[in-house]
Amino acid sequence: MEKIHEFRLHKNFAEICDRIDCKGTSLPALLLQENVLTAKDVECLSSFQTVYDANKWLLLTLPRRGKRAYSAFITALEASHNEIHDLIIKIIETFIDHKEFAEWTG
């Protein structure tokens, strides 16, 4: 995953965790289908007691899943969270303060 995409997820972490549901939707299956998650990952997601904890695990895992992880996540959100997809995209794709990004990347 590109650093700018990782930063976007990091910057909006709490809000994304509050709005998505990776336990009660097809989001994990879609990411499995795109080879972003493994079957073991999907199993792990279903073992969390709360949706928030599962969402948190997913957002912390995505940056380590290769270059296509971010675009696959956005595409999977569109399919699994159609009703809030535009809002989530607006949150994620908000203007990035390049000074803050530079400091974050160190």
Rg (CA), the chain: 13
The boundaries of the domain holding residue 41 are: 3-100
Rounded Cα distance between 78 and 100, Å, is: 28
Number of domains in the chain: 1
CB within 8 A of 78, min separation 6: which ones?
85
pLDDT score of 92 more than 80: no
pLDDT > 90: percent of the chain: 63
Q: What pLDDT, on the 0 to 100 scale, is given for residue 61?
A: 97
In a domain, 105, yes or no: no
Instruction: Tell me the pLDDT band of 68, cut-offs 50, 70 and 90.
Output: very high
**Mean pLDDT value across residues 48-68:** 96
In a domain, 56, yes or no: yes
| Cβ atoms within 10 Å, residue 36 | 23
Q: Do residues 22 and 84 make contact, with C-beta atoms less than 8 angstroms apart?
A: no
CB within 8 A of 25, min separation 6: which ones?
80, 81
pLDDT score of 91 more than 80: no
In a domain, 80, yes or no: yes
Question: Which tokens is 88 given?
Answer: 């989530």
Instruction: Tell me the pLDDT band of 69, cut-offs 50, 70 and 90.
Output: very high
Instruction: Tell me the pLDDT band of 54, cut-offs 50, 70 and 90.
Output: very high
Given CA atoms 11, 14, 20, 22 in this order, what sign does their dihedral have? positive
